[in-house]
Amino acid sequence: MNDQPASATAARARSHTAPPCALVIFGTSGDLTRRLLMPAVYNLSKAARLSSNFALIGVDRSKRTMQQFHDDLGEGIRKFVSDTGGNSEAGGGEPFDEKAWNFLTQRTNLVDGDVTQPLTYKRIAEDLERAKREHQTGGNAVFYLAVASSLFGTIIENLAAAGLMEETDDHWRRVIIEKPFGNDLASAKALNARVLKVVKESQVFRMDHFLGKETVQNIMALRFANSIFEPLWNRDHIDNVQITVAETVGVERRAAFYEQTGAMRDMVPNHVFQLLSLTAMEPPNSFDPDAVRTEKTKALQGLVPFDEGDLQRNVVRGQYTAGVVRDQNVSAYRDSDGVAPNSKTETYVAMRLAIDNWRWAGVPFYLRTGKSMTRRTSEIAIQFKHAPFALFRDTAVDSLSANVLALQIQPDEGASLQFSAKKPGPEIQLGGVRMDFRYRDYFRAAPSTGYETLVYDCMIGDQTLFQRADSVEAGWSAVQPILDLWKNDHRAPLEFYAAGSAGPEGADEMLWRSGRAWRPID
């Protein structure tokens, strides 16, 4: 088969341009396509990362003309450029690139059809043949499922039944599946079985857009390329790890969806566990995709299972009430349209986890994620153990501040290192100081959605930043006992926190019991 090398480094060393292919997007009228996916494809076009033999095929049920289709997608891209400073009067950023946009519109076609009907796939096959003939795509295709998760299995089965997932020595076929991949362990296993019955694992790219963030990708580089960090990355030197994914937005227009999902299902088995696995994984033998993904999966499989006592002590679920976020009044979650007045759905979850292996024995991993919180931030904080205090007992120093390496994922990507230094003056007094690194200060990077790297990697066949079936199931295995306990409310009470706060008091108490505290997010 004319496939690309699995190694990302080998693929990128060979060429900065993706191979010829057609990108087939299911769900082109959806918010995801307009706000994130198409701006990412536009950015790839602008950066000359797409092959000149590229085609774009949209699939959905909306009855639109080609001009309407182009106008809808173009509006989303222009808004992205505007929101990221591209057309500011002060001259910041870069203007909308008509050449890059025209490159896409000249290679675009639209298929109207019901994705549950075989006729739609016959039309897609005809369009792929046209793209192969007119744009020299070589018959290669990426199918992007920007649709409701309930349609994932149906679409892949129909693609396979129509022969559209068949690969030969002359062409390859791949499919990108958005999260959520299942809503519990049983459904994740069932979906994996359903998908892998008709396609190969090498054709499946399970997307988690968090892995498109530069700082997330930089975790491995920071750990394994710097000898000042890797020797300290273990139980002998690290006291605890804190992973925070806090949002200021509430459920907005997603209340009906969120009522059936909650913070645990929405964030923990995917986003949060991706950050945990990259932080906790052992060094892979190489940057080969399967080598990296195997170590990430082993980290998740090493999570110590909860018993009921652990769940009640080390897991906190909360729901926001009315409050003020960024000077704006916010209604309680239960007052949102589509939410039951006595809803038990969590909008916040915090937990203490342990990994049962040589590197991390005895090191607690604290995770928290929530909506309508005081500030938007995603961060991994590595807190190191305190130095011995004996040297300072006869000085004015009464305590030593924590040494913390913080990796900031959003909104301002970078890293900081906090340590102690002597204050000026005749006495020995210590003060906490911080060194900051920000990507924008060192590297000129164009605004991105985070999807550019992931779409490009799929085109070159690099699965490093995509989840494998066993990794998905390992994540759900870790949270399934919690979901089971929460079915019985009296054993897992729901706590409340005001919108605009840092979360419920129970989350603070969980750390206080061991003499620790969360890093402030306000």
Write out the catalytic residue numbers: 271
SS3 159: helix
The beta-carbon contacts of 382-388 under 8 Å, at least 24 apart in sequence, are 382/233, 382/238, 382/241, 382/279, 382/406, 382/407, 383/238, 383/239, 383/240, 383/241, 383/242, 384/232, 384/237, 384/238, 384/239, 385/237, 385/238, 385/239, 386/239
In angstroms, the first-to-last Cα distance of the chain is 53
Which two three-digit tokens encode residue 94? 């870069």
7 neighbors 291 (Cβ within 8 angstroms): no
Residue with tokens 């200021």: 248
198 neighbors 157 (Cβ within 8 angstroms): yes
Residue with tokens 């491995």: 220
Side chain identity, residue 44: L
In whole angstroms, give the CA distance from residue 230 to residue 115.
Answer: 48
Q: Give, as one character, the DSSP assignment of residue 34.
A: I
In whole angstroms, give the CA distance from residue 250 to residue 253.
Answer: 9
As a 3-state breakdown, the chain gives helix, strand, coil percent values, each rounded to 5, of 40, 20, 40
Radius of gyration of the chain (CA): 24
Q: Write the CB contacts of 395 (distance below 8 Å, at least 6 apart in sequence).
A: 427, 428, 429
Cβ-based burial of 419 (10 A; exposed 0-12, middle 13-18, buried ≥19) = middle
Side chain identity, residue 192: N
In whole angstroms, give the CA distance from residue 177 to residue 466.
Answer: 10
